[in-house]
Amino acid sequence: MKLLTVLSFLLPLTAALPTTLLVNPLQPELEARQCATTCGSNCYTSSQVTAAVNSGCNYVNQGGTAGGSSYPHQYNNYEGFDFPVSGPYYEFPIKPGGVYTGGSPGPDRVVFNANCQRAGAITHTGASGNSFVGCSGTS
């Protein structure tokens, strides 16, 4: 009888919980840690890639650069990547610790077009000279 009383008390509480908490309470955290692309040993989430593209695109639209750097600037695709969107292309640094605001750009870049559409991600890591190789998902 006591079990029935406890269950009747808990049932309204569980019905009020969001479904995602009942199915997998860690799912939002897991999704936040999933790599949308990996450049060398750097894993970037979808949110990080979107933030870098949005920041770079804002500078392009305003005609400025980040912190007195040369970024964003036009990317000529000398390596011949097969991007899913048409150019012209721009490159902008993507950093593991937040959005690029100037200074050393590090090896990793997002590439986007004049319509602010993501084209891909590239890195100097593993490339010879000043060229790039594709991060995961960019070929």
Q: Which class for 51: exposed (0-12), middle (13-18), buried (19 or more C-beta within 10 A)?
A: middle
Strands (DSSP E) contained in the chain are 37-39, 42-44, 73-75, 89-95, 98-99, 108-113, 118-123, 133-134
Residue 29 annotated among the catalytic residues of the structure: no
Please enumerate in sequence order all residues whose Cβ is within 8 A of that of 47, keeping only pairs 6 or more positions apart, or say none.
32
Residue 73 annotated among the catalytic residues of the structure: yes
Residue 79 annotated among the catalytic residues of the structure: no
Residues with active-site annotation: 73, 91, 124
